[in-house]
Amino acid sequence: MQIMIKNKRVFHILVLAALSYLVLMFGNGMVSLTNPDEVFYIQTAKEMAQRSSWVTPYLFNEPQFEKPIFAYWLWRAGFYVFGDTPFGARFFPAVFAILGVLTVYLLGVWGFRDEEKAFTSSIILMTAGLYLGLARTVLIDMIFSVLVLFSLAAFYWGYAFQKRKGAGILLSFVFAGLAVLAKGPLGLIIPALGVFIFLALRRELRFLLSPASLWGLAVFLAISLPWYIVMINKYGHSFTHEFFYNDHWRRILEAEHKGNDTWYFYPLTMIGCMFPWSLYVAASLVALFSKLKKGGQPFYLFLASWVAAVLIIFQPAHSKLTSYIFPMFPALALLAAGYIHDAALPGKRSRALLLLALLTSVIPLLIALGVVFASGKFSMYLPSKAEVYVLSGLLAALALSAIFLIARKKLMKGIMLVALLNPVFLSVIPLVVEKVEPYVSSRDPASYLLKNYDVEGTVLCSRMFARGVRYYTQRSVAVIDIPGKGYFSPHPIPFLNTDDKVSAFLHSQPVTYCVLKRSSLEDLGRTIDKNKDLKIEHSKQLGSQYVVKIKRLPSK
């Protein structure tokens, strides 16, 4: 019996590894690195490589202190294996995403003591919209969140199996140390708060009173502190002010994106970004209260403590972003899977689950209709009607198949079929990538500039495109943003937010090349109209970006 269970787990892990590769990594190089964040991180790693630096991140030829060093080490290592390619840049976020899927499976096995629930948890996480998206994006959030997952999973492994207590606690500290190197103090605060809430509610805080905790703390400090000490000694106030105040404390006090600063932003994000599992996640959170009242498996209390810790940390902060609460998504996937399997038990099959399954199955059909109706408005992204018919046909087939299975009382098969929804969207990317590229990446405008002109001096860019133009041209850049306030984390580049500053900049070099959005081009036109010695010689539109050449006429 034990051999059968082990074989089943091995089979599940192999299947999940293969599916994760297809869903989270395969084809990651199809789209060029996008504005503004992907190019930000890879340009930083590139400038580190150019300077042979393994300690200080650089951007625009100056040290930048927005994020710690761990992810940059990975991206720098990636250059040696894959070169400077989109696939290479996205390789490590995808690898961590795959490892996250496999870890959730193991955590589900340890917590639920049920391989089927664990397997469903991994499928839910793998195909959830935000998880899939961040796996295919050059951001630190996936790497950081999976390290937090590792830390919490290691703790629960030690908690669930007393013989593994010491190893579990020690590994939990190790992964927390790496998380602190990936994104900062939250790498310790999130797992520590989740564990504290769980043990406090269980009245088992003494669990941590062991030699393993002392050794773990020592290892944590040995992993996480040296880089910070080096940076503080080398850069002093410049580092501490930017990293600890501007990028951490200031985000608690001040909203970077004011429209997100509402009480309901994170509750809606929790539900919406788990799409297409949103309804199941909402139902599982409601059902969680009754499970906690009844006691039962401590695993549900652990998951609730995990979710609560993330909300306690991020909900009061004024700067709110979807990715900030991403560390709780593995817990949401586990909760949703537990709810689905419990509600689908043969003797307990609930009408609520049946209704949720039908509603979720109808969603792809509604999206298919929406794609058809919206195709006229967004035709600029589609080379032909073929993409519309392919996508809408796949979505309709998916919806009808799921509804058919549910009607035939094959509820679990119908539920799991909806896992294909987001992968269906991925399958259409090769058909639309050429049309979408100029709207999401500055590769084409930069290539056009370098191919047609001998670009010297500083390129003038709209704020959104500055990092991308820098990455794809390796030229100096300046930003036009009237009447902008600058980047939340200051960049060491000229920031032109008035007509006078723009005029002075255009007069500072004989020819200025620009990559602009429409509103910036209009602002530029107003400045040129006021200065008769400035002339637009050429303008070309590539997607949402305008490549412009401006010449300063000789004085008479």
Q: pLDDT at position 157, please?
A: 97
Do β-strands 545-552 and 511-516 pair in parallel, antiparallel, or remain unpaired? Answer: antiparallel
Q: Taking CA 103 as the corner, what is the angle to CA 101 and CA 108, rounded to the nearest 5 degrees? A: 100
Q: pLDDT at position 478, please?
A: 97
Domain ranges of the chain: 2-30+65-339, 351-435, 443-552
3-state secondary structure 122-157: HHHHHHCHHHHHHHCCCCCHHHHHHHHHHHHHHHHH
Helix axes 37-50, 86-112, angle to 10 degrees: 110
Compute the distance between CA of residue 132 and CA of residue 519 in angstroms, rounded to an integer.
33
Q: pLDDT at position 473, please?
A: 96
Compute the distance between CA of residue 305 and CA of residue 56 in angstroms, rounded to an integer.
36
Query: Per this entry, what is the length of the chain?
Result: 556
Six-digit token string for 494: 């000229």
Task: Look up residue 361 and give its amino acid.
Answer: S
pTM comes to 0.94
Compute the distance between CA of residue 64 and CA of residue 491 in angstroms, rounded to an integer.
8
Q: Which of 133, 148, 47, 128 is nearest to 90 (CA)?
A: 133
Q: pLDDT at position 294, please?
A: 78
Q: Is the peptide bond before 298 cis (omega within 30 degrees of 0)?
A: no
Q: pLDDT at position 2, please?
A: 61
Q: Are 482 and 502 in contact (CB under 8 A)?
A: yes
Task: Look up residue 503 and give its amino acid.
Answer: S
Q: What is the DSSP string of 336-395?
A: HHHHHHHHT-TTT--HHHHHHHHHHHHHHHHHHHHHHHHTTTTGGG-SSTHHHHHHHHHH
Q: Helix, strand, coil: what percent of the chain each, to 5?
A: 70, 5, 25
pLDDT per residue of the chain (556 residues) written in tens, 0 to 9: 566 667 889 999 999 999 999 999 999 999 999 999 999 999 999 999 999 999 999 999 999 999 999 999 999 998 889 999 999 999 999 999 999 999 999 999 999 999 999 999 999 999 999 999 999 999 999 999 999 999 999 999 999 998 999 999 999 999 999 999 999 999 999 999 999 999 999 999 999 999 999 999 999 999 999 999 999 999 999 999 999 999 888 888 888 888 898 999 999 999 999 999 999 999 999 999 888 887 778 999 999 999 999 999 999 999 999 999 999 999 999 999 999 999 988 766 678 899 999 999 999 989 888 888 877 776 666 666 777 888 888 889 999 999 999 988 899 999 999 999 999 888 888 878 888 899 999 999 999 999 999 998 999 999 999 999 999 999 999 999 999 888 888 899 999 999 999 999 999 999 999 999 999 999 998 999 888 889 998 889 999 999 999 998 887 5
